[in-house]
Amino acid sequence: MDRTEIESKLTDLLVDELGIERDDIRLDAKFEEDLDVDSLGVVELLMALEDNFGVKIPDEEAEQITTVGEAVDLVEAKLNA
Amino acid sequence: MNDRRVVVTGLGTINPVGSDVESTWRGLLSGTSGISAITLIDASDLSSQIAGEIADFDIEAFMPRRQARRMDRYAQLFWVAAREALGDAGIAHEPDDPAAYRTGVAVGSGIGGVATFEEELTTLLEVGPHRLSPFGIPKIIANLAGGQVSIDFNLYGPNTTAVTACAASANAIGDAAAIITRGAADVMLAGGADAAITRFGMGGFAQARALSTRNDDPQGASRPFDASRDGFVMSEGAAALVLEERERALERGATIYAEFVGYGMSADGYHVTLPRPGGAGAARAMQSALADAGIVAEQVSYINAHGTSTAANDVTETIAIKSVFGDTAYRLPISSTKSMTGHLLGGAGAIEAVASVLSIRDGIVAPTINLTDPDAECDLDYVPGVARNVEVEYAMSNSFGFGGHNVVLLFRAP
């Protein structure tokens, strides 16, 4: 899966699983401040990432993610590991 | 603070008969049943396959999907009823509005988020604890309907929840009034909701032998006081009332539907699901409400009965009414709006309080439908079939719940 595909799939997840407006989603959008994803929403996001990309994301790595772009980076790194 | 009086200044509901107060009231007065074959779930292996559904309920007409998906259906239904009631009362608090701190919430729910409970339990058993939703617990717990409206409508006063089964929202209304009377709040949003048309809800109540199995005649299945009644019909829905300290309501020129004047409670102390034979517990709750209002039984103009259409309730409630009202019982219009709405469980007390209040406003009481062949032991005037013009000075609303909870509310014309 290349980076464009990861971005596209992640965007769909944010829309379908978390109910975020598609137009609000940019790579530099911050989950908490720009997308209004609270601590419970982050848990949902991690479950969605793990289920849909087949990766395992430990809590300490998840805590480092603050933007959509960083989530794409993490998934890409996991997939290529 | 003992001179503080409580009036009703707003109403809201969503239920199988109507999606707001006025459509519901028109439906009840015209004797319209809200019961149909179940469509929300696979009911093929259930013994009771009929219910009062809000089949076209679309929460996304009221809020964004990302907000809606954090709430169980029971809380969504309460939210919609709350919105209507607050709007009707003209109450809209901005964040940090001083009045918001004097406005509270009391909700009743029998079960809370049972649909979410089923989904989460399925995930737990089939996948494991690591895939449970972070919203599972907040969606399931029965107090979140009250919590959610306090967040979304800026209601920062006392916030409490009653879980006394089918008496829950009657308790919520009585508790809310008491909170105003003792000065802890000036306004209380009070009501209740349940949404238990789920496989566990339907299967569980059926195993308690509480549900009608008249599957071939959905609209005729809820038949309180009729000889051929065979159980209650499950319904989903919510209702809410805005209760307000009377002087405040008068000062701001609010529409006053009725005054809340009496709250009676008792426990049967007898059985988990069955009422105490002879209805002594129910009778004590009615007497307690009369005493609280400072009136005698003869002054009551109408009773909105608990009237579930179960074998045990309708006879027991009739005996209880006779024991309290004596000969007057035979001249008193009594009706069960559950004959049309089905049984909203934790929402029942509130929607029946709404019907009682509207009877005061309009001078007309809703009928008991499907009462074609009354049980020999049910020999009172249940207003069969057709609504009746009655000048209602005092309206009593009865609610009884599993566990032996008896709750009686009394409203008076303003």
B66/chain A closest Cα distance in angstroms: 4
8 Å CB contact of B66 and A20: yes
Distance CA B24, CA B352 (A): 11
Beta-carbon contacts of B357 under 8 Å, excluding residues fewer than 6 positions away, are B8, B11, B241, B257, B258, B395, B411
What are the pLDDT digits (tens) for A34-76? Answer: 999 998 998 999 999 999 999 999 988 988 899 999 999 999 9
pLDDT at B2: 65
Distance CA A35, CA B188 (A): 33
Cβ A48 vs Cβ A18: under 8 Å: yes
pLDDT at B1: 45
8 Å CB contact of B134 and A19: no
Nearest CA in chain A to B130: A47
- Interchain contact B133–A (C-beta under 8 A): yes
Which positions in chain A have a beta carbon within 8 angstroms of at least one beta carbon in chain B? 18-20, 40-41, 43-44, 47, 51
Is B271 an active-site residue?
A: no
User: What value, to the nearest 5°, has the Cα angle with vertex B205 and ends B199 and B207?
Assistant: 95
User: How many CA atoms are closer than 13 Å to the CA of B315, on its beta-carbon side?
Assistant: 16
Phi-psi region of B269 (alpha: psi -120 to 50; beta: other; left: phi over 0): left
A53/chain B closest Cα distance in angstroms: 15
A interface test, pick of B66, B69, B135, B144 with most A CB neighbours within 10 Å: B66
Catalytic residue among B93, B166, B378, B405: B166
- Interchain contact B60–A (C-beta under 8 A): no
Catalytic residue among A38, A51, A59, A73: A38
- Interchain contact B131–A (C-beta under 8 A): yes
Distance CA B142, CA B156 (A): 19
Beta-carbon contacts of B68 under 8 Å, excluding residues fewer than 6 positions away, are B59, B60, B62, B76
As a residue count, chain B comes to 414
A34/chain B closest Cα distance in angstroms: 15
Please, what are the averages of pLDDT over each run of 10 residues along chain B (414 residues)?
88 98 98 98 98 96 93 98 98 96 98 98 97 96 98 98 98 98 98 98 96 98 98 98 98 98 98 96 98 98 98 98 98 98 98 98 98 98 98 98 97 98
Q: Which two tokens stand for residue A59?
A: 């809590």
- Contacting B residues, span 135-154, partner chain A, CB-CB under 8 Å: 135, 138
Beta bridge partners of B368: B384
Q: Is the pTM of this model over 0.90?
A: yes
**Chain B residues with beta carbon closer than 8 angstroms to that of A47:** 130-131
A23/chain B closest Cα distance in angstroms: 15
Is B378 an active-site residue?
A: no
Nearest CA in chain B to A50: B131
Complex-level ipTM? 0.87
- Three-state SS sequence of chain A: CCHHHHHHHHHHHHHHCCCCCHHHCCCCCECCCCCCCCHHHHHHHHHHHHHHHCCCCCHHHHCCCCEHHHHHHHHHHHHHC
Tell me how far apart the terminal alpha carbons of chain B are, to the nearest angstrom: 20
